[in-house]
Amino acid sequence: MTEYQIVRSEHHHLNLLAPLFDAYRVFYDQPSDETAAFNFLRERLSNLEAVIFLALSSTGEGLGFTQLYPSFGSVSLCRTWILYDLYVIPEARRIGVGRALMERSHQFAADSGAGAVKLSTAKENFQAQALYESLGYVRDEEFYRYELLLKK
């Protein structure tokens, strides 16, 4: 399974993306709901609210994805992309799929004129942290991140 390609996802990829997105959510202790995952992704793509890159095997199997949301930096006066989701199926880990998805996301962000790509990850997700740091991401030690949950 060493041959794969990275494509920008479109609506016809939703049947491949939904199970990957569902597995990603389960990884973060959410209940499995592939229908809700499908509908959420369809809405993001339909409303042009996200950019999703999909890793496909040479046989057309979905290996992983990354999802970016647009934002802006008021201080830097530039577009920023939030890399909110990255997931690679266990069988495709450690062969460069995650790195390739990240690099494609970086190229897209640069091509869009963005000044930065930002992300956050769980404190115990050491494998992801190692990947991010190997790609030049710097852990923020200056600011605290806050969140107000409006929906549980």
* Structure confidence at residue 105 (pLDDT): 97
Domain count, the chain: 1
For residue 116, being part of any structural domain is answered with yes
146 part of a folded domain:
no
The phi-psi region of residue 75 (left if phi > 0; otherwise alpha if psi is between -120 and 50; otherwise beta) is: alpha
User: Is residue 128 a part of any domain in this protein?
Assistant: yes
pLDDT value, residue 67:
98
- 141 lies in some domain: no
Q: Is residue 102 part of a domain?
A: yes
* Amino acid (one-letter) located at 142: E
pLDDT at residue number 22: 98
**Ranges in the chain, pLDDT < 70:** 1
| Domain containing residue 65: CATH number | 3.40.630.30
Q: Output the pLDDT for position 152.
A: 74
Q: What is the pLDDT of residues 47-70, one digit of tens each?
A: 999 999 999 999 999 999 999 999
pTM above 0.75, yes or no: yes
* pLDDT score for 1: 55
For residue 4, what pLDDT is reported?
Answer: 96
Question: Which segments of 1-152 are extended strands (E)?
Answer: 4-8, 51-57, 62-73, 78-88, 116-118
With respect to residue 52, please indicate whether it lies within any of the assigned structural domains.
yes
Q: 85 lies in a domain?
A: yes
Q: Is residue 98 part of a domain?
A: yes
Q: Do the beta carbons of residue 55 and residue 66 sit within 8 Å?
A: no
Q: Residue 28: which domain range?
A: 4-134
Amino acid 51: pLDDT:
98
What count of other Cβ atoms lies within 10 Å of the Cβ of residue 98?
23
